[in-house]
């Protein structure tokens, strides 16, 4: 039984149940899973094995005030990390003592939801941190080797989005030291099979032998294993099966080589322009760019639904080339030529990362994305006018009659007096078509000629290199890796968002309400936390759009809600005063 690389891969009880049923588990022994599954226990073992560990508190005392004092002793800023955590879940920074307790509560809630264990540990926050991990392999005869490193420093919300091998700035000498520490970690727990030893490195002064520390060990195959396969030429899944059947490793450490450079991009159903909130919905179109040096790993296809109950990953694109620059170019081009329509996604964001000067210069650390969101299509910016024009053009039928949205369903305007085909007795036949482009009002200019209508938005004509799909939300347009939603402007109701002028505080995504923190009549301040939601195992906060009074509460803890559902309503003080 191969458990994949989800939670079952690190579930010791599952591995034991398989053994009891006479089924071979393709993974490490249950004892090794347990040893590395809890971060506090793992760090204690690493200290005894001589592996460098980040300073922090890894003990059993979980009293909130005790942990805050431990954080003071370590020195702020610190990281609060779920003991049973991984993948950035249950991880919160605390920059001072005043904000520590709120960060602790948030980390505990997310850890309990994701792992069923709310215990945490406290670690010193490393400045300019780089995330360097080593792929290790061990057989039942005690042979252990590493397959070199991966750099996973490009992260958002403490989760990886770009991984590459080898790491920029890695020297053969440092690789020997860090790889040796990874092998020592595996040997300390009697490891078998594939695993990853993860280190945090201080990147402020460049990688150095005295500037890295053990972070955790993942006792499974990693999502990013394809980059290691690309540069080593090894099939890690095949190796897993061989080791599980008792074979010894066919290579010695000196035989492991590095061929070129490989980079992986994780494609997620999330919205970079709204804080990387998860997005759900049906995949209307899915087309991957495949070519020389490009590998695609995907578990979904067009027509499948992305639901809020699981991780938001759609697929992985991996590029391999002789140099890092060439691999970045290949990956960016493949992303821009791919089509993902339906849920909001990070394809354009990933392409922007690949083309960024700092990224290409190897000046990466885990905080780079958060510092430079504007550079990566991660802020609401100018709309794609060519895509907007293409979407408006698709909203016109073959006779030039637009399709209007009525009560969520698309209907053709039937009355000849309603037809907006630009008919007039003389002069240019044209009309101004009010549309909304990703929620913002715009005007599409439609000019009619013998060959058919020509559509422009702000003078930009419809792009030819687009893929479109229609839903009740409008026309979804994919162009250069970016998704744009275009619909006709309707005036039946005001357009709102998760904090509009009506005072609605709406669910920004499909998910579950964890808590409502206010009651009707409560006075609130702009930015105050009003409710907590969970989607795809991550916690999100809903805040007050302005100073006011809670007028209504429409949801309760534990309730599943759809994206856009009203959670509560805030009346601004000016309205309250008039009443």
Query: Does residue 264 sit in the same domain as residue 362?
Result: yes
Q: Quote the pLDDT of residue 537.
A: 64
Give the C-alpha separation, 438 to 187, whole Å. 53
- Read off the pLDDT of residues 252-261 as tens digits, 9 standing for 90 and up: 999 999 999 9
The boundaries of the domain holding residue 347 are 260-381
Give the C-alpha separation, 511 to 241, whole Å. 38
**Would residue 440 count as lying in a domain?**
yes
pTM listed for this prediction = 0.77
Do 42 and 225 meet the contact criterion of CB atoms below 8 Å apart?
no
Q: What percent of the chain has pLDDT over 90?
A: 66
- Read off the pLDDT of residues 61-85 as tens digits, 9 standing for 90 and up: 999 999 999 999 999 999 999 998 7
Secondary structure string (H, E, C) spanning 471-496? ECCEEEEEECCEEEEEEECCCCCCCC
**Would residue 223 count as lying in a domain?**
yes
Q: Identify the top-confidence range among 275-279, 394-398, 399-403.
A: 275-279
Give the C-alpha separation, 132 to 156, whole Å. 16
- Read off the pLDDT of residues 268-323 as tens digits, 9 standing for 90 and up: 999 998 888 889 889 999 999 999 999 999 989 999 999 888 888 999 999 999 99
**Would residue 1 count as lying in a domain?**
no
Which has the closest alpha carbon to 32: 11, 4, 8? 11
Give the C-alpha separation, 425 to 446, whole Å. 17
Query: Does residue 249 sit in the same domain as residue 269?
Result: no
- Read off the pLDDT of residues 156-190 as tens digits, 9 standing for 90 and up: 988 999 999 999 999 999 999 999 999 999 999 99
- Read off the pLDDT of residues 98-137 as tens digits, 9 standing for 90 and up: 999 999 999 999 999 888 899 999 998 887 899 999 999 9
Judged against a pLDDT cut of 60, whether residue 414 lies above it is answered with no
Query: Does residue 95 sit in the same domain as residue 179?
Result: no
For the chain, what is the domain count? Answer: 5
Judged against a pLDDT cut of 50, whether residue 238 lies above it is answered with yes
**Domain termination residue (choose one: 108, 124, 140):** 124
Do 379 and 373 meet the contact criterion of CB atoms below 8 Å apart?
yes
**Domain termination residue (choose one: 243, 258, 273):** 258
DSSP codes joined into one string, 413-468: ---TTT--S---SSS-EEEEEEEEETTEEEEEEEEEETTEEEEEETTEEPPSS-EE
Mutual angle of helices 64-74 and 100-115, in 10-degree steps: 110
Give 233 or 506, the one with higher predicted confidence: 233
Mutual angle of helices 347-355 and 324-337, in 10-degree steps: 150
Judged against a pLDDT cut of 80, whether residue 482 lies above it is answered with yes
- Read off the pLDDT of residues 372-384 as tens digits, 9 standing for 90 and up: 988 886 676 789 9
- Read off the pLDDT of residues 40-64 as tens digits, 9 standing for 90 and up: 788 889 989 999 998 899 889 999 9
Query: Does residue 521 sit in the same domain as residue 418?
Result: no
**Domain termination residue (choose one: 455, 488, 521):** 488
Q: Quote the pLDDT of residue 118.
A: 94
How long a stretch of residues is the chain? Answer: 579
How open is the CA angle 265-163-239, to the nearest 5 degrees? 105
Mean pLDDT over each residue of the chain, to the nearest integer: 88
Give the C-alpha separation, 326 to 319, whole Å. 9
**pLDDT bracket for residue 490 (50, 70, 90):** low
Judged against a pLDDT cut of 90, whether residue 562 lies above it is answered with no
**Would residue 115 count as lying in a domain?**
yes
User: CATH code at 567?
Assistant: 2.40.50.100
Query: Does residue 447 sit in the same domain as residue 509?
Result: no
Q: Quote the pLDDT of residue 378.
A: 66
**pLDDT bracket for residue 196 (50, 70, 90):** very high
Query: Does residue 233 sit in the same domain as residue 299?
Result: no
Judged against a pLDDT cut of 50, whether residue 565 lies above it is answered with yes
């Amino acid at each position: 039984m191969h458990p994949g690389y989800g939670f079952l891969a690190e579930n010791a009880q599952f591995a034991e149940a398989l053994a009891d049923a006479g089924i071979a588990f393709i993974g490490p022994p249950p004892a090794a899973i347990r040893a590395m599954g809890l971060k506090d226990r793992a760090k204690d073992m690493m200290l005894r094995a001589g592996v460098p560990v980040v300073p922090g508190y890894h003990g059993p005392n979980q009293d909130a005030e005790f942990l805050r004092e431990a954080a003071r002793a370590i020195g702020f800023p610190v990281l609060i990390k779920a003991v049973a955590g991984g993948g950035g879940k249950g991880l919160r920074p605390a920059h001072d003592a005043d904000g520590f307790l709120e960060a602790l509560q948030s980390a505990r809630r997310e850890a309990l939801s994701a792992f069923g264990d709310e215990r945490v540990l406290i670690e010193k926050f490393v400045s300019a941190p780089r995330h360097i991990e080593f792929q290790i392999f061990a057989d039942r005869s005690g042979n252990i080797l590493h397959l070199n490193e991966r750099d996973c420093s490009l992260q958002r919300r403490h989760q990886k989005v770009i991984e590459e091998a080898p790491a920029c700035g890695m020297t053969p000498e440092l690789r020997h030291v860090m790889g040796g520490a990874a092998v020592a970690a595996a040997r300390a727990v009697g490891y078998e099979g594939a695993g990853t030893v993860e280190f945090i490195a201080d990147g402020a002064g460049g990688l150095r032998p005295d500037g890295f520390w053990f972070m955790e060990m993942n006792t499974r195959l990693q999502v990013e294993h394809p980059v290691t396969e690309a540069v080593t030429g090894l099939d890690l899944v095949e190796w897993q099966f061989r080791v599980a059947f008792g074979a010894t490793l066919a290579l010695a450490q000196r035989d492991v080589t590095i061929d070129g450079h490989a980079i992986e991009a994780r494609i997620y159903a999330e919205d970079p322009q709204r804080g990387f909130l998860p997005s759900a919905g049906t995949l209307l179109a899915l087309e991957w760019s495949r070519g020389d040096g490009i590998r695609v790993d995907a578990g979904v296809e067009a027509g499948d639904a992305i639901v809020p109950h699981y991780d938001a990953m759609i697929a992985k694109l991996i590029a391999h080339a002789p140099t890092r620059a060439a691999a970045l170019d290949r990956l960016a081009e493949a992303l821009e030529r791919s089509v993902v329509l339906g849920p909001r996604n990070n394809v354009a964001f990933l392409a922007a990362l690949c083309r960024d000067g700092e990224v290409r210069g190897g000046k990466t650390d885990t905080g780079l994305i958060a510092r430079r969101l504007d550079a990566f299509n991660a802020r609401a910016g100018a709309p794609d006018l060519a895509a907007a024009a293409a979407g408006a053009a698709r909203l016109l039928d073959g006779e030039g009659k637009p399709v209007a949205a009525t009560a969520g369903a698309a209907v053709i305007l039937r009355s000849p007096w309603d037809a907006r085909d630009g008919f007039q007795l003389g002069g240019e036949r044209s009309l101004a078509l009010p549309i909304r482009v990703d929620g913002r009002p715009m005007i599409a200019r439609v000019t009619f000629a013998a060959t058919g209508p020509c559509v422009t938005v702000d003078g930009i004509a419809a792009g030819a290199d687009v893929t479109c799909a229609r839903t009740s939300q409008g026309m979804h347009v994919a162009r250069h890796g970016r998704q744009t939603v275009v619909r006709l402007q309707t005036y039946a109701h005001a357009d709102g968002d998760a904090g509009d002028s009506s005072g609605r505080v709406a669910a920004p995504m499909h998910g579950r309400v964890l808590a409502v923190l206010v009651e009707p009549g409560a006075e609130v301040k702009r930015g105050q936390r009003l409710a907590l939601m969970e989607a795809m195992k991550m916690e999100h906060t809903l805040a007050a759009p302005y100073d006011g009074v809670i007028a209504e509460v429409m949801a309760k803890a534990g309730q599943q809600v759809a994206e856009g559902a009203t959670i509560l309503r805030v009346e601004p003080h000016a309205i309250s005063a008039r009443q």
